[in-house]
Structure 1
Amino acid sequence: MTGGTLVVLAPDKFKGSLTAPEVAAALARGITRRAPRARVRCVPVADGGDGMVEAFVSAGWTRVEVAAPGPTGEDSTAVYAVRGETAVVELAVAVGLVKLPGGRLDPMRADTFGLGVVIGHALDAGAREIVIGLGGSASTDGGSGLLRALGLRLLDKQGRELAGGSDVAALLEQVASVDRGGLHPAVATARFTLACDVDNPLLGPAGSVAVYAPQKGATARQMMKLEAGLSNWAAVLGRGYAEIGGAGAAGGTGFGTLAVLGAQVRSGIDVLLELLDFTTLVKEATLVVTGEGSLDHQSMHGKAPVGVAAAAKKAGVPVIAAVGRTLLSPGEIRAAGFAACYPLSDLEPDPARSISTAANLLERIGERIAMEHL
């Protein structure tokens, strides 16, 4: 092996265990232990869900902290990443499930107002390309909170403004029209991209409520109310937007931003790799290593490792997956673009111990990768 060997480590998080930067760091320790002359470049990634801002900060973007209310209105802070006129904001770190006080689910009160505060801060600072990472949502408000924070007025049949902060479903059911006159002036010239790995519509059996509201603590009766509220919200803003794939993402936040901000839905990992200029990063690489907690059939639909594999293949660089576990056959792993796959479950079959000792196991995987592929 020569000193010119370059290994690019581009893993996603191992959910419930390690962040993407922690996964990359553990792999790097193992690789350099066995191959001390190898150059290792850590480029942690995300598919639009939690961890997206962190990935950009790790890549050298500026980290900005801003005071923004959490999903149920409590005082909190959030962060976003910025470079030039491009800002990457993340729903999860502003109003996600992880921001609920004490982790208590509150499906009828939680909203996206705080995310709108973060976006407004980025617009005030001069950002005109806003990338919104959708995922980890605590709410089902159709993006209404975010839009109210940006100046959209929700009006009832008498033309009175409706305020949020109580029952999201009741609020959405009462909306008869909206007033866009007070929207943040920069909205007119800014471009909004939704980085998202789901293609659900807003309504119906594959929609936001049916698929995701139970995860947010909604009962069957609450789900009926939320669906009715979103249906009315769609009638006010335009039912055509409700059918777009991704409209149902993050409790319908996709729908609200599509209808009012003119947002476009894109694969989260594609957006991230493009903004990080991943093709250039891997151009001189000998090997790319990616991974996530579980490599399974869902991974084939817009998840980070498969996106990384496709980008690396385009650059002519072999890709290896280091994962918590895999449910794919060897043939499916090869078809997904991976030269090899190293699951932690091969070293530690007990899931609880695998999660708790993931960093050490990943170091051992890094050593194996160095011995077998460098």
Structure 2
Amino acid sequence: MQKKFKIVIAADSFKGSASTIQVEDYIEQGILRLNRNVEIVKVPVADGGEGTVDALVIGCKGEYRYADVTGPMGDKVQAKFGIIKDNIAVVEMAEASGLTLVDLADNDVYRATTYGTGELIRAALDCGVKEIFIGVGGSATNDGGVGMAQALGVSFKDSEGNEIPFGAGKLGDVASIDDSGLDKRIHDVTFTILSDVTNPLCGENGASYIYGPQKGATPEDVRKLDQLLCHYGEKVEEYLGIAVLEAPGAGAAGGLGAGLMAFCGAKSYSGISKVLSILEIESHFQNADLVITGEGRMDSQSLNGKAPVGIAQLAKKYHLPVIAVVGSSDDDLGPIYATGIDLVLDIINKPMDLDAAISQTEKLITNAGETAFRAFLLAKKVPISL
């Protein structure tokens, strides 16, 4: 009797076209086209960015909660977060302060605020949790987490004693910081930043220079925003005695990392490593035959804490073949293959523009799922009978 193969599918989302759950469903459809005797285990994953709440809520059989919060431009938005393992909250800052909540052409990075992220944290605290995981990918903001801190009771005043307004634009006016009004529950909760970002708050590798342009900042804006964040970081050190200017990960989400470190005592961890640990993904690898992962774009950035590489490194502990299904990939995949991924399959099968590819996402990923399984069977020298 032919062996029943066990396949673990653990793929990240294809941003703008398919969630992690959809990607995995499409890959499964492709495998099942061959009508093989297979066991498929799907583990939704994320690296701290889009889909982190879904991955952990589904993977841990948790529950969703919702809160009406302040969006990045001051309007009200409904944001979701998750409760897992009874007393852990999972928050995506992008749900409250993300770039997807604004039109990029209209995004004002000087006004964009993380205030809603602070409100989301308050909503999580209202649930009585003892630990909060915060995914910090996809921000529209560059305010250093000041808005978040204001929502939690911290005061930032200018030289005339006035509270500074939302956004990064007036960070240079911060003359004093008073955290005496900080929500007292913060001290009883462990905060964990889920991120693939190790950038400091300021400088040429800091929040403004590296991530400002994707939020609509011009080169001149970037220089100004960096100066504003540096002034803010200096004031944090002066009033709280906490050094955030050079702290690894402080530059995440426009400096929200710095704010979480300073006001919530947060520690930054590799998002994918933490998520995979919580999901106990290794328990699925112990008797598996193949791992299929994936992401929208596989390139040099994939080496810096992205989901497929993290998954491949764990899978190799069990000597498993790993295939990555991707929307597109770099010309040189040598460094990717060196991490433990054995085969990268681009879903694009003919010349097409981005809109055409997005409109055919299900079909293209499903085809790639079938191709991945065919490649595995070919390597195993197993005849393919439809």
TM-score bracket, normalised by the shorter chain, equals: over 0.9
Answering whether residue 304 of structure 2 is matched by residue 305 of structure 1, we say no
Q: Which residue of 1 aligns with 2:163?
A: 162
Q: Which residue of 2 aligns with 1:125?
A: 127
User: Which letter maps to 1:25?
Assistant: D
Residue 36 (structure 1) shift: 4.2
Answering whether residue 228 of structure 2 is matched by residue 229 of structure 1, we say yes
User: Which letter maps to 1:285?
Assistant: A
Any stretches of 5+ residues in structure 1 without a counterpart? none
Distance in 2 (CA, whole Å) between partners of 1:161 and 1:124 is 29
- Is contact 2:11–2:295 with CA below 8 Å preserved after alignment? yes
Q: Which of 246, 250, 271 is 1:247 aligned to? A: 250
Distance in 2 (CA, whole Å) between partners of 1:249 and 1:189 is 24
Q: Which residue of 2 aligns with 1:212?
A: 211
User: Which letter maps to 2:352?
Assistant: D
Residue 149 (structure 1) shift: 0.8
| 1:27-46 alignment, distance < 5 Å | 27-46=27-46
Distance in 2 (CA, whole Å) between partners of 1:149 and 1:129 is 19
Q: Which residue of 2 aligns with 1:96?
A: 98
What is the CA deviation profile of residues 266-298 of structure 1, one whole-angstrom value per residue up to 9, with x for unaligned ones? 111111101111111322222111011121111
Identity of aligned residues (%): 39
- Is contact 2:325–2:347 with CA below 8 Å preserved after alignment? yes
Distance in 2 (CA, whole Å) between partners of 1:151 and 1:168 is 18
User: Which letter maps to 1:182?
Assistant: G
- Is contact 2:157–2:164 with CA below 8 Å preserved after alignment? no
Q: Secondary structure at the residue paired with 1:324?
A: strand
Q: Which residue of 2 aligns with 1:180?
A: 179
Residue 240 (structure 1) shift: 2.5
What is the CA deviation profile of residues 104-151 of structure 1, one whole-angstrom value per residue up to 9, with x for unaligned ones? 211111110001111111111011211111111111100001111111
Q: Which of 276, 279, 285 is 2:279 aligned to? A: 276
Q: Which residue of 1 aligns with 2:362?
A: 359
What is the CA deviation profile of residues 240-265 of structure 1, one whole-angstrom value per residue up to 9, with x for unaligned ones? 32101211111100111112211111
Q: Which residue of 2 aligns with 1:114?
A: 116
User: Which letter maps to 2:134?
Assistant: I
User: Which letter maps to 1:196?
Assistant: S
- Is contact 2:105–2:216 with CA below 8 Å preserved after alignment? no
Residue 310 (structure 1) shift: 0.8
TM-score normalised by length of structure 1: 0.93
Q: Which residue of 1 aligns with 2:344?
A: 341
Question: Over aligned residue pairs, what C-alpha RMSD do you find?
Answer: 2.0
Residue 163 (structure 1) shift: 4.4
What is the CA deviation profile of residues 271-329 of structure 1, one whole-angstrom value per residue up to 9, with x for unaligned ones? 11011111113222221110111211111111111011111112333211111122154
> Structure 1 residues 76 and 103, CA, compared in 2 at 3 Å: closer, same or farther?
farther
TM-score normalised by length of structure 2: 0.90
Query: How many pairs were matched up?
Result: 370
Q: Which of 285, 289, 294 is 2:292 aligned to? A: 289
Distance in 1 (CA, whole Å) between partners of 2:194 and 2:128 is 21
Any stretches of 5+ residues in structure 2 without a counterpart? 378-386
User: Which letter maps to 1:192?
Assistant: F
- Is contact 2:347–2:367 with CA below 8 Å preserved after alignment? no
> Structure 1 residues 101 and 354, CA, compared in 2 at 3 Å: closer, same or farther?
closer
What is the CA deviation profile of residues 140-176 of structure 1, one whole-angstrom value per residue up to 9, with x for unaligned ones? 1000011111111213335x351433x5321x12222
- Is contact 2:209–2:223 with CA below 8 Å preserved after alignment? no
Distance in 1 (CA, whole Å) between partners of 2:105 and 2:99 is 7
